[in-house]
Structures are given as C-alpha cells and as structure tokens.
C-alpha cells in the first residue's frame, strides 16, 4: 500500500471502531462455544427479525463460505445454478461451487451483471431431459460485481418468474448494505425475492463476518449440519456475533454503506468531465468502473492502489469504503486529472 | 454458563489480552487483502521458521477447515485415511472429510487414542487391490482426543513406518502447543514426523486462528488454490495473522499451554484421593478424563460446566485453559469432593 | 482358471443361455436409445410390478453403480449411512460411497453381517448435534456378505424401527434372488422393508445388469438425472433390459438362485463330517464360509479356484452359481476330503 | 421408431453381428472376473499397442463414465477444464464432471466445435491467482459434437501449446473411429496429441463398450482404483473385451466408421441442391447438420426419426451409422425432397 487511501476494494480497509469495541466487550469470561452463547443468540435473532426471515440467520466466516452454504441448502443433489457470467461464485471463488457443492453453473452473459426472466428462461430448454444439467436455483448478486443494483421491481419480476418455474432464488449479498442504501429500502424488502441470501459484514466494516439468511422455514433444518460439515462453525462464535451486533446497532451498517456509496458518486461525478476517462457502468453502489488509456492506468497506479478489472478492454475498478473520506476522493480525483493530462 | 470457570473446553474461554491487543494494533489504515499484507507475510514466515517447514505456513479460520485442507493436500484423489476411531476428523466434524475431501476414513479402535505402526499395518491388507479403499495418509492427533500425547520416539517410529510404506503423515495439532509443553520440546521437533500438520491457535488463546504447516516443499504448490476453493481465504487476513503474531511473541503459546497443562495436573492430583472418581487416561495435556457415578455427574453439573464424554461408561471430560486459575481448580475440586461425599 | 468349475464367486460364471438368447433377439433394427425403447419400458414395468414398487425400476450397469445411485437418492446432502462393517459398500467398493455420494459410513461390527434395531440405535447418540455425522439411511445387505439372510420378521422389525426413527432403509440386493429362494418368499415381500433397493442380475446369470427398485414414489423423481450424472445411463439400454426380461421369464431368476443355493447346501452338507473343516456361518444362500488349516487352503487352491475371505483367521469362501452342477460340487468335495487327509 | 432407418443417432442401431458373435464366443465356462481374464488382457494389450499407449487401455461401460474417469486421472484436485461450449462433457452429461470430478468447465464458444491455441490462451488470464479457477486440462472432442474433425496439424498445434503451458490434453473420442476414417490416419496418430483419451465402441457397432487410453505411463497408476471407485469395474469384463476384440479384428472399427461417414456424405451431397435445406457445418464424419424451415422439420419427422439440434435456429442433426445403407439414405433423401417441395 502506498500510504494513500486504497481504492482497490472495500476489503482493503480495517475494522470499524465500533466493531472492534464490540469484539473487546464480548471478551469477558467464558461462553458456551459454537454459537450457543447468549450474544450469538441475541444477534442472530435480531438479524432474523431484520430480514423477516422465517428460517433464521446463521453466521459464517467468509463470503465464499456463505455462498457455498447457501447454494448447498437450496439445491437438490443433481441440480445446477443459473447465474450471471460475472457472478462472484462463477469467477472469483476458484471453482468452490463446483468442487464443494458439485453443481454446474450455467453462466449467462449479461451487459450489466443483472439477470432477467428472459435470460433465465433461455436456460430452461433442457428441463426434464436427463442429459442436460437441470437448473434448480437462480443466483443473483446484489450489488452485482459491476456495481449495479437490481431495483425492487426487477427483483419482484425475477422472483415471480422463478416461483412459477420451480426455481429457488439465492442472493449473494456481500454488498447488500450498499444496495439497501442506494435503493433506500429495508433489508427485508431486498430479501423478499430470495429463498436464501447472504448478508455481508466484512466489506461493511466488520473484521470477518458474514450471515446466511434463510427466508423460508423449510430450508433451515439442515443448515447447522451443513455449516459444520463445510467447516464454518467457529468455536468462539460470540466474536463473530459481536461484529454484526455493532453493525446492526443504530443502523451502522446503513450509514457505512451510504457513506461508501456517496464517496463513489463523488468520484464518478468528479471524473465525468475528465477527458479520457469513460464510466462504463451506472454508479449505483460503491464501485466505479471506468475505461482509461492503458498508459494512464499504469501511471495512476504508480501512486494509487486500485484494480484493473479487464485488461483486454482497459477497464479499471475503483472501490470506496466506509472510511473513504471526501478528501481521499478529491486527492484521487486530482491524481486522475493530472494523469489524464499527460 | 454459571459464572464459575468453565471446565467444558478450552474454547469456552475468551481471547488472551495480548492477542486482542495485537488485533487492535493491526487495525491501522488499509492493507492489501487475502494475506498479501506485510503482517501476514511476516507472521507466516515466522511460523514457517518455527516449524522448519520447507513448504511454509497458511492461515485458516477453523480447525475443521485446517484438517480438510491438510488432508486434501496430501491425498491422491482415490485414497483413504487411517486414523484413530476417536480422532476429531472421524467423530466431531459431521463427516467433513468424507463430504469435502471425498475420502474414506479407516478408523482404528485404540485404547488411548494413539496409533502405532502395528495398528497402521493391519489396515494395509487390501493395498494394491482395486476393490479396497487405498490408504494414502495416516492422520495422528497430537494431543489426542483422550488427552494423551505421542512421545517423540513414538512419532519417529510411526514416521519411519509410514515413509517405508508410502504413506504420508498428517498431524492434527489443534492442541499441539499443549503437547510441546508436556514433552518440553520444540514445535519443529513435533512436526518432524509429519508431511503436513495443523497448529491450533484458537484453543491456545486466539479468537479464531489456525495454521496449516506444510513440511515438504512439494506439497505447498496447490495449497493457496485449495484454501480459496475450500472457502478459508479470508480477505482481512492481517487480523488472523495478528493473533498468531501475539502467540508467537515471547513464547506466549508455550506459556499458555504450560499453564493449562499445569492446571489439569493440579486437578488430576486433587481427585486422585477422592473416592468414586477414577482417572481413565493419563493426564498429559490439559484434559482430565474421569469416571464418576452418574448421579454424581448430574449433581456436579448443576454448579459446574463440563462435558460428559461417554454417557454409556459414565466418563466425563474436564478441560483447563490458559486462563484457568489455581483458585478455579481448587474451587472445582471442592465441588467434586463435596459431591462425591453425597 | 483351472478348467475345473470355479467356486470363487458367482460372477466367475458366464451368461445364462436364455439371457444370451434374449440379447440376440433384442438386436433387431433400430431402437430409441437411453431406455425409451419398448423393450426397456416393458421390462422395467414388469420389474416395478414384481416388487410392487410405486417409484418404479431403473436399470444400471454394475452393483456398485446401483448402490451409489440408491444411496444418493435417499440421503440428504449432509447425512450418513449406518451399515454392517462387512457391507459391500464399506469394504469392497474402493470408497465409492464416500467419494461419489460424499457420505460417511457408520460401520457397525456384527457377528453375522446382520444389523438389528439395537445395533442401529447405538449409532443414534449424536443425533441433533451438528458436530456428529447424522444418520439418515440404514443400509442392509440381503444376502449379507457372510452368506446369511435376514428373515422377513427381522426385516420388518428393522423397518418399523427405522420408520419410527426417521431413517430410510436401503437394501443392497446383489444376491436378492438367493434370499428369496432361501426364504421361499416373493421379491415384493423382501422389498417391503426398504425405501430403495437393488436387484442384482449379474450374479444370477446376466451378463451385466442391475436394477434400482424405488419403493416409495416420492424418491423416484430425481433418479433419472442422478443415474445420468453418475454415468450409468447406457445408450443401447435394450440390451440390459433384455437380460432382466430373460431372468423374469418363467421365474428363471428364482430357479437359478434356488439351484445355486442347493449346491451350496450340498457342499456344506458334504464337509460337515470332514475333520479340519469348520463352517463359520449358517449356509443360507449360495456361499459357504469355512475355516481350514492354512496349509490345507494352499494345497486346495493348487487345483481349485476360490477366495480366502480372511487370511488372519484362515477362513475361505466357496461360492456356487446357477451353473454349478452336483458333479462339480462332488468333485470339489472329493478334493477337500483328500486335502484334509494330508 | 417408424420402421424406417433412424437418422437420430449412431446409438439407435443395434449391435454389429461380429460383435454379437464375439460375445457369444466369450461365453464358455468360467473366467476370473474384473478384467483379470485372458480375453480382457489380450484385448486391452492390443488396444494399448494400437494407440502406442504407454499407460495402457482400460475398459469402461459408457462414454460419460470414460470422460469422468479420464478427467479425474488428469486433473489435480483443484483444477479446471477448458473445453468447447458444445462439448459433450459440458452439455450432455447432466453435470457429471462438476458433480463427480468436482471440476469447473471453462466453456469456450466456438464456431465449429473446435478449440485453438488462441481460444485456449484466452482462458489463462487468471493463472496463478488463487481466486480464479486454474485450468489444468484442455478437453477436445474428436469428432466434435458438430460433426467436424480436427486435422492432425491442428491437434499438433494444440498439443504443442498445451505442453508449453503446463496443460494436459484430454480427448473425448466417442467417435474417434469416424475421425480416423475421415482423416485416413491411424488411431495412434490421432492419440499423439493427448495425455489420455477415450475410444468409443458403442457408436461404432458395440453393445456398450468404451475404452480409456492412457498415453503417458505416469497417469496409469491410479486408473484401476478410480475406475472401481467410479463404479465402472464390471465383473464379467470379458464380455466388454469381446466387443472391442471384434471391432479391432480385421479393422472392423475402421470399415464401420468409413461406411457411416460415406453415408453421411451421400446424404449431404444429396441435399446440396435441395431448396430450403442448408448445410451448416462441414460434413467430415457421420453427422449432417442442416437448417430447414420449421414446418418442413415437423413434416419430415412424421415419417423419419432424427433430432432437432437447435430449435431456436431451426437446425437438425442427421446421423448415419455402420448399418445405414445407401438405400436408406436415398429413401430419406426422397423424403426430404418431397417435404421441401410442400
């Protein structure tokens, strides 16, 4: 790292002070392990209420762990998953879904990372024919990997289609807080479309905490066993619960996300008039995707930390976080402008 | 929990203050994620040196995760594992090895949780016959689930046998620190027998941190991919590294373990003369296994937290931890004595 | 092979002439593949009726394939299987259940290869505790690997226990015909205890044909996909169906099995008075298990083909088949007697 | 079926008379099971020589079984497979590779079913980054699912690229005989590019017989165990061997394939001048892909059996087989012409 604020990812950040405080407070005396302690019970109950999730909430340690657990809860043994080609489960988890769940991902090219009923329907041609992989789950990402958000209306349309088509809906919510902030809606409204979803804490200010939210009660029975079998039942669970406790307290999750989103918008607004910088996706959450000249990318990376999203088309990704300040953005903007002038 | 010190398990404890301090110190500014940060690099390098591990050290989040990762590194695709019937991988991980690694566990009954070359040899009858599961790995637990430790000589004999028999050695070291303290040897000496082992931090005072130690360089190449695929590559890795950093600093891991061991010995010594309490395994680490009358167990559990190990034979397990005090032990002893008198 | 009749296994035999004839007759012109042809439909319908199987019959190519398919139909994703330690799925399939189904086998030592409600009950201690493998299926073998048969009353008791305990019953019927012949009962009566079972054709005179019989209708829906995914949907299915057609015709399966059983009894009766030969299991089907002196075993194997079942206790297995003649048995008996005299 | 010759697939046919004869001849007396019989040893040795395969030949029962076995031999535990999007393993095996091998298929769109070094190279961007699936194997189909054949030069180019890139080559040869006939080359020449390949018997006139050919000796050691574990070790193996024995005898495999290819060419030549019928892929083996008006397809299917390859673009697939006669083709051509006139 350069000393300057990283725009590489919202997981370059440390831990929000309130989260760290909650961890320290949780460290008093003994507690029964594996999540049977009072703090975990209180926090997971509150998560369940927040999402109006009949099946409850289950804490795990990583986003990939949450995704694998969620898919394994929803899939029949032989079924496949329909997802966007850009989905994290398809591109960024080293084949975890195929290896740990044993499922085929039917990856659909999309312009903006978002599935639609029409795109889903095209994957159903082989249904009922034993030779073809049989879709059982549609996996959405909210926020998508391209920084876009499904609207509530889009989610409802997909959910209606899926329910009518015997497809369950999984929602990867590693950045769900950012979507709720962008759409100015509740987490429960976002979750309505889904049978099972994840709610990411880590990118929102936690140290390492993710939640699996089980909307339908019928899917909950096997989760404890699957979580243990998939090696995510940590013994000192109270310290994971404490993190979510802090994020839920006073709506910290929402203010963290709203701030990150605002910083991304500030960044996007700041580059709109910069020659040679082209925004390639709507900026709806805390990511800005932009096309720059390759030599400008190289020059900018000498001073700043961020990722090249797609080298072939010269697109970069700039991420903001709960602790990105307006000054950080403005300094970065100055750097972009000065680079673009060269 | 009752307010009194738990003797239920060494994971009922909270986090050692030095570990918590290290976590807080690690929370300064941004860091590259996924373990490429300087702190993680420093701590894993130090772990590697400590174990004289050519293949290096890799941090993961749970003991089950470390076990699954370690086995998957060592096993050829079709191979099976020889382990003690009491092994944690066999009895306490909800079938993770079978489900995630796809391997058969050839579980061997043992009196004391310890395998021997003779017991291992009996599992090799079907070698070379494609109908039988083919052992490729011997999995040892050090400390065993019964609180016993292999001596260095016993480990060397097993290692010699395994090397001569084309068997790799995996060592589940969830309580390796306690074994090193008991045997008064270095971690490197304990690791010599193994191709891959785990080094547990969580039961030693960490919040949630385990390490996979790869002794042979040839086994290291695939570990990063397998760790990611198995969903244990946490993004804010520095906070896991910080925990091991604190435990390694000034030999805290050893003093924590030595203290826990001493408290178990104090407890064992204290019950030797109590009528109706029979120690059923040598007390070598931080666990005391004792047979009590069922009604004494029930009475004692009204006031104290501990586990019934085997209800059928009326055996309980009392565990001590880094933060169990002599006063805690003495109070518990008084409780045991007063119960035994009834 | 020595030219003399093999007593090694009922799969040393060739194909029954009626089966071969049926294969030849099936070879007329084109047929739609993958089991949608009229012959397959006719034969599987007849199998379904024979077993009074609501869920129907599905043809596969090997016994191991049938076992894996059957278990995968019955098991929830995280569940384990209770079976006898001697079960074929545990000892003779190179870990297929663990690798392909991802399930743990809870293998129970038994004197005679037969489970009982009591033995099953002992495996249920950890139920509801996420740390322990959760039994979901009880797997029986009928005939057992030790040549013994469950009586209908024993099966009913197990089935009652399992239904009351939320356990599904799988029955490995690689030699089910021999059990039906021994018990003088119908296949439907044998199947009543099970949710899913296999019906072996290969050891009964087929070339290579096994059937999965799905008793409960609710288990049938996924079978076609699982069979295809598990690579047992052969394209020219009519030639597998033809084999079962021939075995069902005129009760050939029963007469083949009854004959093999009779030959085993003839063999067992013949050795009862031979000094140095001790029968170690009741002879109820087509296998004879006997203890001989090691040097007698070695001498006898110079002239005859059969297997050493357990070298450590000097027990051999002699198998008879549909084409073992009384003369074959008598010649073998003469060999045994002459060896035992030496 | 309509009574008329099927153009649906080369697996609608029955068994070649020579194959059936060989099966009957193999049915004489006992044989040691599981492939240790002399016939299997002779035939697999001959297969190995034919392919100049250092690692030998292994018989299995289905094409999907051969593909799963082959991939599992070549892949490290975490690795992925690069294949054409149209590959059988990707589209026609109900997700077997993902479920049984646990591997991700990186499916590449191609115009003609053929991969190239350039297309493969595009899949290597994420190599060495633990977040991305790591390609370890390139899977080719020869003949491709679109009826096209790689030339020997194309194969050599791919093999060179793969060897230089630490990628192993798997070749799905379900219709390898047809490719050899089209290219007028030996099987060994076709196999040179591959580390492991399959050689299909079933579509060439067998009843149900496929071979896994292991070119490099280092890959052979685990095959017997993997084949057993994957449930394809049939006990009466001699009857599978007999089928390949017949196909190898006097080059029957080649004449069968050459005949089928010739019939496809006759069919293709016959439709070239028919209005409303457009050939959409080069006809190089025994498949003809043609675009017809939807109503013409429907009308033709009233009398003839064949498959609609892609309903969205109105493309059908006509397959010929070893037993398709010139009269069959001419009658079908007459049907096509008469339909096209309507």
Chain C: give the shortest CA distance to residue A162, in Å. 20
Contact D78 A94 (CB under 8 A): yes
The contacts of residue A115 (CB under 8 Å, 6+ apart) are A82, A83, A84, A108, A138, A140, A158
Residue C8: strand, helix, or coil = coil
Nearest-CB residue to D98 (from A103, A130, A134): A103
For A120-136, the pLDDT digits (tens) are 999 999 999 999 999 99
CA neighbor of A93 nearest in space, from A138, A145, A169, A135: A145
Contact C6 D235 (CB under 8 A): no
Answer whether D93 touches A (CB < 8 Å).
yes
B neighbours by CB contacts (3+ pairs under 8 Å): A, C, D
What the block records as the tokens of D19 is 């194959």
Closest residue in chain D to residue B136, using alpha carbons only: D222
Answer whether C305 touches D (CB < 8 Å).
yes
The strand pair at D105-108 and D79-84 is best described as parallel
Determine the Cα–Cα distance for residues C199 and C211; give it in Å rounded to an integer.
5
Nearest-CB residue to D76 (from B222, B228, B233): B222
List chain C residues with CB under 8 Å of A34. Answer: 130-131
For D26-69, the pLDDT digits (tens) are 999 999 999 999 999 999 999 999 999 999 999 999 999 999 99
Nearest-CB residue to B78 (from D78, D102, D229): D229
Determine the Cα–Cα distance for residues B330 and C310; give it in Å rounded to an integer.
54
Chain A: give the shortest CA distance to residue C180, in Å. 33
Answer whether A24 touches B (CB < 8 Å).
yes
Chain B: give the shortest CA distance to residue D166, in Å. 14
What the block records as the tokens of B24 is 């807080």
Instruction: Write the burial class of residue A273 (CB in 10 Å: 0-12 exposed, 13-18 middle, 19+ buried).
Output: exposed
Taking 70 as the pLDDT cut, the residues of chain C under it are: 1-2
Chain B: give the shortest CA distance to residue C105, in Å. 8
Residue of A41, A225, A235, A239 for testing the chain B interface, max B β-carbons within 10 Å: A235
Please state, rounded to an integer, the average pLDDT across all residues of chain D: 97
Q: Which residues of C35-52 are buried (b: 16+ CB within 10 A; e: fewer)?
A: bebebbeebbebbbebbe
Report the pLDDT value the prediction gives residue B342, as an integer from 0 to 100.
74
Question: DSSP alpha helices (H): ranges in B5-99?
Answer: 17-26, 38-51, 63-74, 88-91, 96
CA neighbor of D328 nearest in space, from D293, D299, D304: D304
Answer whether A265 touches B (CB < 8 Å).
no
The contacts of residue D250 (CB under 8 Å, 6+ apart) are none
Contact B95 C103 (CB under 8 A): yes
Which band of pLDDT confidence, cut at 50, 70 and 90, is reported for residue B56?
A: very high
What the block records as the tokens of A321 is 């976080």
Q: Provide the whole-model pTM.
A: 0.97
Answer whether B95 touches C (CB < 8 Å).
yes
Answer whether A61 touches B (CB < 8 Å).
yes
CA neighbor of C254 nearest in space, from C332, C329, C188: C188
List chain A residues with CB under 8 Å of B204. Answer: none
Closest residue in chain D to residue A92, using alpha carbons only: D131
Contact B93 C311 (CB under 8 A): no
List chain A residues with CB under 8 Å of B305. Answer: 30, 32
Find the distance separating the first CA and the last CA of chain D, reported in whole Å: 24
Contact C202 D95 (CB under 8 A): no
- What DSSP letter does each residue of D12-44 carry, written as one string? SS---HHHHHHHHHH-SS---STT-SHHHHHHH
The percent of residues above 70 in pLDDT, for chain B, comes to 99
Contact A76 C222 (CB under 8 A): yes
- CB contacts < 8 A (A, D): 56
Answer whether C91 touches D (CB < 8 Å).
no
Contact B12 A32 (CB under 8 A): yes
Answer whether B59 touches A (CB < 8 Å).
no
For B82-112, the pLDDT digits (tens) are 999 999 999 999 999 999 999 999 999 999 9
Which band of pLDDT confidence, cut at 50, 70 and 90, is reported for residue D134?
A: very high
Residue C161: strand, helix, or coil = helix
Determine the Cα–Cα distance for residues D265 and D288; give it in Å rounded to an integer.
8
What the block records as the tokens of D171 is 């070749």
D neighbours by CB contacts (3+ pairs under 8 Å): A, B, C
Contact D20 C24 (CB under 8 A): yes
H or E element, residue A70? helix A63-74
Which band of pLDDT confidence, cut at 50, 70 and 90, is reported for residue D72?
A: very high
- CB contacts < 8 A (A, B): 168
Which band of pLDDT confidence, cut at 50, 70 and 90, is reported for residue B311?
A: very high
Asked if residue C106 lies in contact with residue C133, where contact means CB atoms within 8 angstroms, the answer is yes
- Name the β-bridge partners of B188: none
Instruction: Write the burial class of residue C100 (CB in 10 Å: 0-12 exposed, 13-18 middle, 19+ buried).
Output: buried
Closest residue in chain B to residue C129, using alpha carbons only: B94
Contact D31 C234 (CB under 8 A): no
List chain C residues with CB under 8 Å of D14. Answer: 26-31, 236
Nearest-CB residue to A231 (from B32, B64, B305): B64
H or E element, residue C316? strand C315-319
Number of helices (H) and strands (E) in chain A: give both, helices first.
Answer: 14, 11
- CB contacts < 8 A (B, D): 36
The contacts of residue C105 (CB under 8 Å, 6+ apart) are B104, C80, C81, C83, C87, C89, C90, C97, C98
Answer whether B102 touches D (CB < 8 Å).
yes
Contact C207 D236 (CB under 8 A): yes
- CB contacts < 8 A (C, D): 169
Report the pLDDT value the prediction gives residue A342, as an integer from 0 to 100.
74
Report the pLDDT value the prediction gives residue C3, as an integer from 0 to 100.
76
Contact A130 C77 (CB under 8 A): no
Report the pLDDT value the prediction gives residue A2, as an integer from 0 to 100.
59
Answer whether C212 touches D (CB < 8 Å).
no
Nearest-CB residue to A31 (from B12, B232, B239): B12
Distances (CA, A) of B195 to B107, B117, B173, B192, D197: 20, 17, 13, 8, 33
Answer whether C229 touches A (CB < 8 Å).
yes
Chain A: give the shortest CA distance to residue D180, in Å. 27
A neighbours by CB contacts (3+ pairs under 8 Å): B, C, D
Nearest-CB residue to C231 (from D24, D62, D305): D62
Within 10 angstroms of residue D49's Cβ, the number of other Cβ atoms is 13
Report the pLDDT value the prediction gives residue C1, as an integer from 0 to 100.
55
Contact B99 C103 (CB under 8 A): yes
Answer whether A225 touches C (CB < 8 Å).
yes
Contact A78 C134 (CB under 8 A): no
Report the pLDDT value the prediction gives residue B1, as an integer from 0 to 100.
55
Q: What ipTM describes this predicted complex?
A: 0.97
List chain C residues with CB under 8 Å of B125. Answer: 311
Residuewise pLDDT in 10s, chain A (342 residues): 557 999 999 999 999 999 999 999 999 999 999 999 999 999 999 999 999 999 999 999 999 999 999 999 999 999 999 999 999 999 999 999 999 999 999 999 999 999 999 999 999 999 999 999 999 999 999 999 999 999 999 999 999 999 999 999 999 999 999 999 999 999 999 999 999 999 999 999 999 999 999 998 899 999 999 999 999 999 999 999 999 999 999 999 999 999 999 999 999 999 999 999 999 999 999 999 999 999 999 999 999 999 999 999 999 999 999 999 999 999 999 999 999 877
């Amino acid at each position: 790292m350069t000393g300057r604020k990283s725009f590489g990812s919202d997981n370059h950040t440390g831990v929000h002070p309130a989260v760290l405080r909650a961890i320290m407070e949780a460290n008093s005396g003994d507690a029964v392990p594996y999540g049977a302690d009072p703090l975990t019970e209180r926090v997971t109950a509150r998560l369940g209420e927040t999402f109006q999730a009949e099946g409850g909430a289950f804490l795990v340690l990583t986003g990939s762990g949450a995704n694998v657990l969620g898919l394994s809860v929803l899939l029949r043994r032989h079924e496949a998953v329909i997802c966007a080609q850009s989905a994290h489960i398809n591109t960024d988890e080293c084949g975890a879904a195929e290896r740990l769940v044993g499922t085929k991902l039917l990856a659909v090219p999309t312009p903006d990372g978002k599935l639609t009923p029409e795109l889903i329907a095209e994957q159903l041609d082989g249904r009922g024919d034993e030779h073809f992989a049989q879709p059982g789950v549609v996996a959405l990402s909210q926020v998508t990997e391209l920084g876009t958000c499904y609207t509530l209306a889009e989610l409802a349309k997909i959910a209606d289609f899926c329910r009518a088509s015997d497809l369950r809906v999984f929602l990867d919510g590693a950045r769900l807080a950012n979507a709720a902030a962008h759409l100015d809606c509740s987490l429960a409204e976002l979750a309505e479309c889904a049978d099972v979803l994840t709610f990411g804490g880590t990118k929102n200010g936690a140290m390492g905490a993710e939640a699996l939210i089980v909307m339908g009660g019928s899917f909950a029975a096997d989760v404890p066993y699957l979580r243990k079998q998939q090696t995510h039942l940590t013994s000192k669970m109270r310290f994971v619960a404490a993190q979510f406790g802090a994020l839920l307290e006073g709506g910290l999750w929402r203010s963290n996300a709203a701030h990150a989103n605002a910083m991304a918008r500030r960044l996007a607004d700041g580059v709109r008039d910069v020659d040679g910088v082209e925004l390639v996706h709507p900026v709806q959450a805390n990511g800005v995707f932009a096309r720059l000249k390759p030599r400008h990318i190289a020059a900018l990376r000498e001073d700043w930390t961020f990722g090249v999203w797609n080298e072939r088309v010269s697109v970069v990704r700039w991420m903001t976080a709960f602790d990105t300040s307006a000054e950080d953005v403005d300094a970065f903007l100055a750097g972009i402008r000065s680079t673009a002038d060269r």
